[in-house]
Amino acid sequence: MTTRITQEIYDEEIRELMEGLGLSEEEAIQDAIKCFEMKGVDLNNIVTDSVLEDKYKEIITCLERLTCALNDKSYECVPETLQELRTELDKDIGYKVFAAKRKCYNILINLLKDCEKNHAIVKSTLETLTSLMSGYPDLLDDEGIALQTQLLERHCDTVTLQCLLRWIRECCIKHELNRQRIFETNVFEKLKKILMRTDVGALEVKDACSVIRALVLDDDIRHEYGKAHEHATVMAKGALDVITGLLKRFKKETKVIGDLMITLAALVVRNEFCQEVEDAGGLKFILDIMTEYPDSEKLNWQALKLLKALAGNDNVKSHIVTSGCAPLIVSVISRMKRSENVVAAGLSCISALSLRSTSNSGVFYDCGAAQVIVDAMKAYPNNINILKQASWAIRNMSVRNKSESKEFLMYGVEEVLRDAIHLHGLKLEDNAKAALRDLGLKVDLKERWTGKGISLNNEHY
């Protein structure tokens, strides 16, 4: 038989947990709910988060105002209220969760539907939805996806379109099901139309590309298998020519060309796509960017990401090196050695370009890559990613170039690799030991499986 308690008893229990055990409000609420449920207490008549109302009173006030505006069809104060609400939602995830429990998402969706012709309110509502769902994409439902589709199909003004694209992007991050459901609405064709518009602006291109990249993420740990590769394949088949064309069109817009390059890098997931980008002048464009913007850390990092992706095609990989990229890559790592992102991307490039290629490896030796790789490892002894990328680069440059690999030893690579193994253990052991082995150095390799010592029986039954 269930029992009931009063709101006062519930609130007092929360306060005792907070004061007696030092729990936060959220932790105290969770503990109290579990405790009461175990005792068979019915909490349906209790506002379980009432103790938090003081902390979140601004959210409550804003949502009450928006609800009144919807009921009264009076929207004069809505933009100001939405701004106040965004300020609260941007504080931390707790504010978003509380607002969601108070039907914030539903209120904002209704506001979008009711005020579709009021550009100021639509823009502000989209910005507020983005604040609410940034890091909290689970709220998206079929009604929200349908609204996204409807808005995309209209020719929105630039500012509203940007706000819409940013909301869609946030819905895709760390949420595989959202990505799949949004992709199934044929969103890519709508994004492609935006990119193909003769009057499309730099900022619209930037935001459309960010949605394309979000659709090919594989970052939701709740799902072992996603559809990133399938999404990338569909979009690459439909838009590689469009995106490579935009590279030339926006060559002087440094904020856009970087986004275009990393978008291409996310889409070239098949051999033929790499070739298509090169045939369209993509490789020459990368060379031009690295030459014309030698001091731009971000642009060089983005160029390196695209080079690494294009190296997935052996013909393109060879052309990348014969076109003169090797000395540029080594120079970028050396010049921007204080940037972990650039160093990691550069080492990854060397690894990819020297894989199964004696000639490419030889070019990197001639460019002084060996010293740059070892120096990078010495500069970042605690960065596992850089150490892994360096280990792979050493392996690929050494395994088919035994005589030249002695150059690594001249710069003290053995001590660096052994120190890395000692410092990071299992996280780096396999990669570093493989590099030592391919350098011809003594290394104790562990036999992962030795069997149980039972003799095999070849009889057939």
- Token pair in block for residue 219: 């970052």
CA-CA distance, 357 to 354, in Å (whole number)?
A: 5
Predicted confidence at residue 240, as pLDDT, reads 96
| CA 453 to chain CA centroid, nearest Å | 47
- pLDDT for position 55: 77
Q: What confidence score (pLDDT) does residue 47 get?
A: 67
Contact indicator for 429, 386 with CB cutoff of 8 Å: no
Q: Average pLDDT for consecutive 10-residue bins of the chain (461 residues)? A: 76 78 78 85 73 78 95 93 96 87 94 93 97 95 96 86 97 96 96 94 95 96 92 96 94 92 97 96 95 95 97 96 96 97 98 96 96 98 97 96 94 96 94 95 71 55 40
455 φ/ψ angles, rounded to the nearest 5 degrees: -65, 145
Q: What are phi and psi of 265, to 5 degrees?
A: -60, -35
Answer yes or no: are the C-beta atoms of 384 and 342 closer than 8 Å: no
Task: Give the pTM.
Answer: 0.85
Report the C-alpha gap between 23 and 9 in whole angstroms.
18
pLDDT at 11: 77
Kind and range of the H or E element at 42?
A: strand 41-42
* Residue closest to 288 by CA, chosen among 273, 275, 307, 270: 307
- Place domain 328-441 in its CATH homologous superfamily: Leucine-rich Repeat Variant (1.25.10.10)
What pLDDT, on a 0 to 100 scale, did the predictor assign at position 449?
Answer: 56
Closest listed residue to residue 19, CA positions, set 32, 30, 31, 28: 28
Domains of the chain by residue range? 3-42, 328-441
Burial class (CB in 10 A: 0-12, 13-18, 19+), 4: exposed
Whether the Cβ atoms of residue 132 and residue 118 lie closer than 8 Å to each other: no
pLDDT at 45: 72
Give the model's pLDDT for residue 264. 97
Structure tokens at 118: 């009021």
